[in-house]
Structure 1
Amino acid sequence: MRFLSSLLFVLWLTPTALHAQTTPPAPAAPDTTRKYANPDGVPAAVKKPWYKGKLVRATIVPAVLIGYGASTINGNGIYSSYDARRDIQRQFPNFHTKVDDYLIFAPYAELGLVALAGVESRSDRLNTLLVVVKSELIYGALTYAIKNTTKVLRPDGSTRNSFPSGHTAQAFLAASIVHTEFRDQSQWYGIGAYTIATGVGALRMLNNRHWQSDVVAGAGIGILSAHLGYLSHRNRWGRKPHLKDVGFAPSYYGGATGFTLTWRPQ
């Protein structure tokens, strides 16, 4: 009887021991010291190299144009401003027009007409206006400062404020805004605006009012002004306005009339 009791005890103990041996160890407690470092599990953004930054991309083309224009002032450069004026005067000795005085606004006219036609732009009209105002202020400050610093004599000998061409800068500023606003719809809007701006620069040389250097640098300053206007604008395109869910309604309570204000925060 004692042997039978011992045998039953061994048979009961054996599966218990096997279960204890095959049961995996309990998992370690999770590390909660960094649980708020990246709660969504989204990998951290990789920092772009400096040469791929927005500022570099916005200034590289204007810098090339301004640099080339400055390098051809007077008789400098491989094909200087003097060389260009000599060739222009040889081909168009008596050319004169005032079309360029009005053509500088043509890209802005295109901007307005395309918007009125219902073509969706990158930003709404208010923010486009704000960018235009800031770009114009930047263009005006840069042009005025450089003109009064360099004091380059105009090719017709009238004044010493030739470099850079303000007409050309103004036209390319407006063309850059047209291109930025409608390039997602069609590149032809920008091509048309830049063609007009190029025509303004050519007419300034044909009218003997500006050198080649003035026109090329002016194009760079106009593009740069528009790009800086966008870069300095703090509006986030497409973001819902904070006051979108604000509502007003007339009210009547206790014999008095008034308005009720409702607001549902996002």
Structure 2
Amino acid sequence: MRNLASSLFLLLSVLIAPLSSMAQADSIMPKDSMRPTFFKRVPYKGLIVPAALMTYGIVALESHYLIGQNHQIKTEINEHSRGKFTADDFSQYAGTAATFGLEAFGVQPKHNIKQRLFTAAVAHAIMATTVYTIKNTGTVWRPDSSANNSFPSGHTATAFVGAELMWQEYKDQSIWYGVAGYAVAAGTGFFRMYNDKHWFSDVAMGAGIGILSTKIAYWLLPLVEDKLQTHKRNYVFMPGYNGRQATVAASLRF
């Protein structure tokens, strides 16, 4: 377990170090030679929340106090549990879907469809790779003892990618879009604990990974922004319900 914690601290530093290096390089470059893209400055404040969540999750692997808190939270939730509620299997994708769907209802996002596809794809790729790597090197048993890949919560990580995508795209329209996205993501994390699939520290780690993965995707966007500019786009987005399942039909033409 101690080796896993050390490996995760190393992973966190690997994720953040390249961004810090780029920001430092930017600070010493002459202004007239700077590219008007990514190298302006990485916003360090954006690292605080995801780094804190991930640090909590990592420390909880070894801390007897935080392990005890995990069990206490589990006990309290189980006392009020009235059976499983599997909304988290669907709500994890709500934020990402809304990032592409709200425009169809007249809410204008910050970036065009190609840019949103890029950030969503990169964010989900970073998140999925990180979660998969950690799960396959860890030995944390789920609260229901069904498997030993509890840490971190993949559902929560996916949900918080979507929440941060919504925040980045629609906060200029209204902060309530971002608030709604984060509320759904937090609900997803809660129901992972309610359904006895994850500890609180799993959820915290997953949330941190999801947020950081999305922020990295947006910090990388300026590197390819010129190629993703589009002046004409045609697309149709049609949500539906067949009586048993929610469906989404989309047609895109660039």
What is the TM-score with the length of structure 2 in the denominator? 0.69
**Aligned pair in 2 of structure 1 residues 99, 74: CA closer, same or farther (>3 Å)?**
farther
1:55, CA displacement in angstroms?
A: 5.1
The structure with the largest helix share of the pair is 2
2:195 to 207, 211, 216: 207
Q: Which residue of 1 aligns with 2:106?
A: 118
Q: Which runs of 4+ in 1 moved over 4 A?
A: none
Give, in whole Å, the separation in 1 of the partners of 2:83 and 2:190.
12
Cα deviation, 1:108-162, whole Å, max 9, x if unaligned, reads: 2322331112322111011110111111110111001111122211111011110
1:65 to 42, 46, 53: 53
SS of 1:232's partner is helix
Whichever residue aligns with residue 202 of structure 2, its letter is D
Would the aligned equivalents of 2:92 and 2:188 in 1 still touch at CA under 8 Å? yes
Give, in whole Å, the separation in 1 of the partners of 2:212 and 2:129.
12
Which runs of 5 or more structure 1 residues have no equivalent in the other structure?
Answer: 1-43, 46-51, 245-266
Give, in whole Å, the separation in 1 of the partners of 2:101 and 2:116.
14
1:77, CA displacement in angstroms?
A: 3.0
Give, in whole Å, the separation in 1 of the partners of 2:111 and 2:58.
34
Count of residues paired in the alignment: 195
Give, in whole Å, the separation in 2 of the partners of 1:235 and 1:116.
25
**Aligned pair in 2 of structure 1 residues 66, 98: CA closer, same or farther (>3 Å)?**
same
Q: Which residue of 2 aligns with 1:84?
A: 73
Root mean square deviation of aligned Cα: 2.7
Would the aligned equivalents of 1:165 and 1:210 in 2 still touch at CA under 8 Å? yes
Q: Which residue of 1 aligns with 2:142?
A: 154
Q: How does 1:1-266 map to 2 (within 5 A)?
A: 53-54=41-42, 56-73=44-61, 76-77=64-65, 80-92=69-81, 94-233=82-221, 234-236=223-225
1:172, CA displacement in angstroms?
A: 0.4
Would the aligned equivalents of 2:103 and 2:109 in 1 still touch at CA under 8 Å? yes
1:98, CA displacement in angstroms?
A: 1.5
SS of 2:224's partner is coil
Percent of pairs identical after alignment? 35
What is the TM-score with the length of structure 1 in the denominator? 0.66
Larger radius of gyration: 1
Which runs of 5 or more structure 2 residues have no equivalent in the other structure?
Answer: 1-29, 32-39, 233-254
